Amino acid sequence: MSDERQRALVIEDDLDIGQLITHYLQKAGFEPALVANGAEGLARARHDPPDVIILDVMLPGLDGLAVCRALRAGPNTALVPIIMLTARAEESDRIVGLELGADDYITKPFSPNEVVARVRALLRRARRASAPDHRIVYGPLSVDIDRHVVKTDGEEVRLTAKEFLLLQYLMEHRGRVLSRDLLLSDVWGYTYTGGTRTVDVHVRRLREKLPLLADAIVTVKQFGYKLVDPPPG
């Protein structure tokens, strides 16, 4: 799928910022739509899920965190990539958004070209993950790369787009010690300015959603992570 056919939903109450983002996205070949409040943005995404959502945190009424939570809970929007925008610089605020299922986080003020680059990187990784027609098996865990489906003991487990890509990367590099910087570069697709804590958040979510990985993803102190071989049998 080319960028020209990909649709971006921008949920931003600041008209100047929203129009700036949509202008740059349109110049880059996307089909952007802009809504100014959380309730309308959520309704629109549920009715016609876009390829990516750019979501402001500080929205009137239903704020961005509540919208993100609702999107991740919906069957039609659970896997749609979400980039959150915020004027808050505190790491704790970024972590909350990531914990709720956001795939990326951009702090205001920002360059609109950076937003476009983040969107492209996120969608490129998602397309690359779905390109091969094969499965990866790890004990009772099965990852269908083509259909973007994860199952454990035959039961499907719902992951966000970024969680899926991280799991795929760990499984494809099983046994290797992977630094946080490497994971950010290869999974997120750029040098992430928000710090490597985002990797820790996503690893924790994988461990929670897939308990068999709780001990299998080994933390290498002050460096990164390694997925060890599954136990025999």
C-alpha distances out from residue 59 to 35, 37, 103, Å: 11, 6, 19
pLDDT at 145: 82
* Residues 12 and 112 grouped into a single domain: yes
Which CATH number goes with the domain that contains 59?
A: 3.40.50.2300
Domain presence at residue 233: no
Mean pLDDT of the chain: 86
pLDDT at 2: 43
- The radius of gyration computed from the CA coordinates of the chain, to the nearest angstrom, equals 17
What's the rounded Cα separation, in Å, for the pair 143 and 137?
6
Inter-residue contact 165 to 126 (CB < 8 Å): yes
* Residues 207 and 137 grouped into a single domain: yes
Inter-residue contact 84 to 171 (CB < 8 Å): no
Domain presence at residue 64: yes
pLDDT tops 50 at residue 8: yes
Find, among 44, 38, 30, 32, the residue nearest to 12 by Cα: 38
pLDDT at 215: 92
The pLDDT tens digits of the residues spanning 24-80 come to 999 999 999 999 999 999 999 999 999 999 999 999 889 999 999 999 888 889 889
Q: Where are the alpha helices (DSSP H) in 131-211?
A: 161-172, 180-183, 197-209
The pLDDT tens digits of the residues spanning 142-185 come to 998 877 889 998 899 999 888 999 999 999 899 899 999 888 88
pLDDT at 3: 41
The pLDDT tens digits of the residues spanning 79-126 come to 899 999 988 666 666 777 778 888 888 888 889 998 999 898 888 766
Q: What is the pTM assigned to this prediction? A: 0.65
Domain presence at residue 232: no
pLDDT tops 70 at residue 229: yes
* Residues 11 and 95 grouped into a single domain: yes
For the record, the structure tokens of 207 come out as 């461990």
For the record, the structure tokens of 105 come out as 């986080």
Expressed as residue numbers, the domain containing 200 is: 133-227
What's the rounded Cα separation, in Å, for the pair 39 and 158?
24
The pLDDT tens digits of the residues spanning 173-202 come to 998 999 998 888 888 776 555 567 889 999
* Three-class SS state of 149: strand
* Residues 38 and 143 grouped into a single domain: no
pLDDT at 191: 56
Strands 52-56 and 82-86: parallel
Last residue of a domain, one of 128, 148, 167: 128
* Residues 60 and 10 grouped into a single domain: yes
* Residues 111 and 201 grouped into a single domain: no
* Residues 13 and 76 grouped into a single domain: yes
Residues 6 or more apart from 171 whose CB is under 8 A from it? 136, 138, 143, 227
